[in-house]
Amino acid sequence: MKMKTTTFRLLTVSLCSIASLALADEYGDYSEIDLEKVHQRITTLSGSTPAQWRITVKGDAATSATVSWSTLEPEGEHVLYYGRKPTGGDLEKYDHKQECQRSGQYTGDSKKKKEGEKIELASYHHAALSGLEPDTTYYLTMVSNGVASREFHFRTAPAEPEQLIFIHGGDSRSGITARSRVNHMIAQMIEQNPEIWGLVHGGDYVGSGKSYSQWKAWLSQHELTTTRQNRIVPMVVAKGNHDGGQLYGEVFDFIEDGDKQVYYYNTTFGDLASIITLDTNISGTGAQEEFLKASLEKLRPKSKWLFTSYHRPLYPAVKSMPSQKEVFVPHFEKHNVDIALEADGHNIKRTVPIRDDKKDPTGIVYIGEGGLGVGQRTPKTDRWYTDSKEGAFIGKGHHVMLLTMDRDKLQIKSIMLTGDVVDEYVQKVRK
């Protein structure tokens, strides 16, 4: 009997040790990775070679996506070849071909370089795809002026997903080395867990949105989120307060027309989840409020999980509350938004559930606030909604948030660049 108990104890201890080791190794430590190796993966921006690729989704994530890239030379045709089977780059074997609907030269810096020379401006190319098959891996090759990229692939979301996993983060506006590391970490996370659909970025990609050279660096570093198997991570993007100017629209295919700067839109994942992306750089009232009301009325009844994503935090851990809080929060609460994805504060935050400006189990949890590269700030410890005694979490350090949801529950993990999971939160679906 004693022998059996000892064996059982030993077995239990061993299993626990293995489990804890597995958990510790679940996310690697990318804080000290060799950047030389990482940067060897960056494509040289020269001639017509497609580089700085990215995929953005605005709309139905199961059937649409925009594939974008840059070339140094603007000349020639810019065409995306894509299909459901890998062709090894044989363009004729692809099912589809899509000419870029929008191409042009990036708007340049007003400042000149020290030598007195202007920075050579590259060009953007956007191929908007629709009518894609849900839950399908698409293989693609970008071709500019006859020069082809290597073959990449990305995956559309299922039409009726049973599970959705995405990474959320924000503020990659400075800290070039940290940005490379976080991007590399994202790629590694997707390699380890191919079920991760994409990245929801809360804005502040660069320090000065009007600086082409800063966007150029960001775009090339974004290549590092591509896995070694050439899988491109789709993005849902929100505009930050540092992303002013025309380049944001040129990078992410938003058409800017005078006063009609519309950076708010919806992204849907069947009946499992929806993300309403808002713009905290414009008035919360007026057209944006009408859009928010209409989106909430439409999406809440048919989404198990409803997210809002925007830059400036409505319940900030460092800063003061923005004027949009008075506009957005009543609508969020009326329509029972589940999680609000925020950025801007440069820290790690998960509030208590909030309703009517107080803790309420039926309320909305606000998470963020950006650590994709930018230097971190110390969050305030004296705010009721970030009080750890009440179950909230605050911290600082470069990180991403991993959101995993099914039809019953949602899990949020805050994962540091070191691989440490500093916060884990589970929420059940609203009844």
Which residue ranges make up the site for another protein (CB under 8 A)? 35-40, 42, 44-46, 174-178, 204, 207-208, 213, 216-217, 220-221, 240-242, 244, 259, 281-287, 318-321, 323-324, 326-327, 345, 374-375, 377-378, 380, 382
Q: How far is the CB of 389 from another protein (least distance, A)?
A: 19
CB of 344 to another protein, least distance (A): 9
Nearer to another protein, 41 or 96 (CB): 41
Could you give the 3-state DSSP secondary structure of residue 318?
coil
Residues in the chain: 431
Shortest gap between Cβ of 3 and another protein (angstroms)? 52
Are the C-beta atoms of residues 321 and 284 closer than 8 Å to each other?
no
CB of 208 to another protein, least distance (A): 6
Q: Transcribe 181-216 into DSSP letters.
A: HHHHHHHHHHHH-TTEEEEEE-S--SS-TT-HHHHH
Choose between 70 and 303: whose C-beta lies nearer to another protein: 70
Query: What is the widest separation between alpha-carbon atoms in the chain?
Result: 86
Q: How far is the CB of 74 from another protein (least distance, A)?
A: 17
Q: Which is nearer to another protein, 157 or 392 (CB)?
A: 392
DSSP 355: E
Backbone phi, psi, residue 20, to 5°: -70, -35
Residues 154, 187: contact at Cβ < 8 Å?
no
Cα(74)–Cα(144) distance, rounded to whole angstroms? Answer: 9
Q: How far is the CB of 98 from another protein (least distance, A)?
A: 26
State which residue, 176 or 429, has the beta carbon closest to another protein: 176
- Structure-block tokens of residue 195: 């079920």
Provide, rounded to whole angstroms, the least separation between the CB of residue 177 and another protein. 5
Closest approach of another protein to the CB of residue 284, in Å = 6
The two three-digit tokens of residue 327, written as one number: 């506009």
14 or 46, CB closer to another protein? Answer: 46
Q: Please choose, from the candidates 366, 425, 365, 420, the residue with its C-alpha nearest in 3D space to the C-alpha of residue 398.
A: 420
**Identity of the residue, 207 or 419, whose beta carbon is nearer to another protein in the bound complex:** 207
- Side chain identity, residue 33: I
Which residues are within 8 A (CB) of 224 and not within 5 positions of it... i.e. 6 or more apart? 38, 41, 42, 180, 183, 184, 187
Residue 63 · residue 129 · CB < 8 Å: no
- Nearest CB to another protein, comparing residues 59 and 245: 245
Beta bridge partners of 235: 56, 199
Distance CA(180)–CA(170), nearest Å, equals 14
d(CA 207, CA 328): 26
Query: What stretch of H or E contains 421?
Result: strand 421-428
**Which residue's CB is nearer to another protein, number 45 or number 147?**
45
